[in-house]
Structure 1
Amino acid sequence: MFLRFLAGRARQAEALYILGDLFEVWVGDDIDDPYHNRITAALRAAGDAGLKIFVMHGNRDFALGEQFAAAAGITLLPDPYDLTLPEWSFVLSHGDALCLDDHAYQAYRAKVRDPEWQRKMRAKPRVLRSLLGRYIRWRSARRKRDHRTVYADLQPAATDDFLRDHAYATFIHGHTHRAATHDHFVDGIHVERWVLADWHEDRGEALLWDGETLTRETLLPES
Structure 2
Amino acid sequence: MQPTLFIADLHLSEDRPDITAAFDTFMSSQARDAAALYVLGDLFEAWIGDDDTCHFNQHIKQAFRTLTNSGVPVYFIHGNRDFLIGKKFAGETGIQLLPEKQVIDLYGEKVLIMHGDSLCTRDHKYMAFRKKSRGWWWPKLMLALPLWYRRRVAQNARKTSALHQKNSSEQIMDVTPSEVDRVMTEAGVSKLIHGHTHRPAIHKFQLGDKQAQRIVLGDWYSQSSVLRVTPQSTELKGTPL
Scaled by the length of structure 1, the TM-score of the pair is 0.90
Structure possessing the higher relative contact order (Cα contacts under 8 Å, 6 or more residues apart): 2
Unaligned runs of 5+ residues in structure 1 are: none
Letter in 1 for 2:88: Q
Which string of whole-angstrom CA distances, capped at 9 and with x for unpartnered residues, describes residues 189-220 of structure 1?
0010000011124x211111112221113334
Q: Secondary structure at the match of 2:173?
A: coil
* Match of residue 206 from structure 1: 226
Q: Give the length in aligned residue pairs.
A: 219
* Match of residue 116 from structure 1: 137
* Match of residue 51 from structure 1: 72
Q: Does 1:20 align with 2:41?
A: yes
Q: Does 1:101 align with 2:118?
A: no
- Asked if the contact 1:181/1:194 (under 8 Å) is kept, the reply is yes
**How many angstroms apart in 2 are the aligned matches of 1:186 and 1:25?**
35
The offset of 1:116, in angstroms, is 1.0
**How many angstroms apart in 2 are the aligned matches of 1:142 and 1:156?**
24
Q: Does 1:160 align with 2:187?
A: no
Cα–Cα, structure 1 residues 213 and 87, in superposed 2: closer, same or farther, change >3 Å? farther
The offset of 1:153, in angstroms, is 1.1
**How many angstroms apart in 2 are the aligned matches of 1:135 and 1:8?**
36
Which deviates the most, 82-91 or 191-200?
Answer: 82-91
- Asked if the contact 2:202/2:216 (under 8 Å) is kept, the reply is yes
**How many angstroms apart in 2 are the aligned matches of 1:13 and 1:90?**
18
**How many angstroms apart in 1 are the aligned matches of 2:240 and 2:29?**
13
- Asked if the contact 1:168/1:189 (under 8 Å) is kept, the reply is no
- Asked if the contact 2:190/2:210 (under 8 Å) is kept, the reply is no
Letter in 2 for 1:120: L
CA RMSD of aligned residues (A): 2.2
The offset of 1:8, in angstroms, is 1.1
The offset of 1:80, in angstroms, is 0.6
Q: Secondary structure at the match of 1:50?
A: coil
- Asked if the contact 1:25/1:136 (under 8 Å) is kept, the reply is no
Q: Does 1:182 align with 2:215?
A: no
Identity rate, percent: 33
Unaligned runs of 5+ residues in structure 2 are: 1-21
Q: Does 1:218 align with 2:238?
A: yes
- Asked if the contact 2:190/2:211 (under 8 Å) is kept, the reply is no
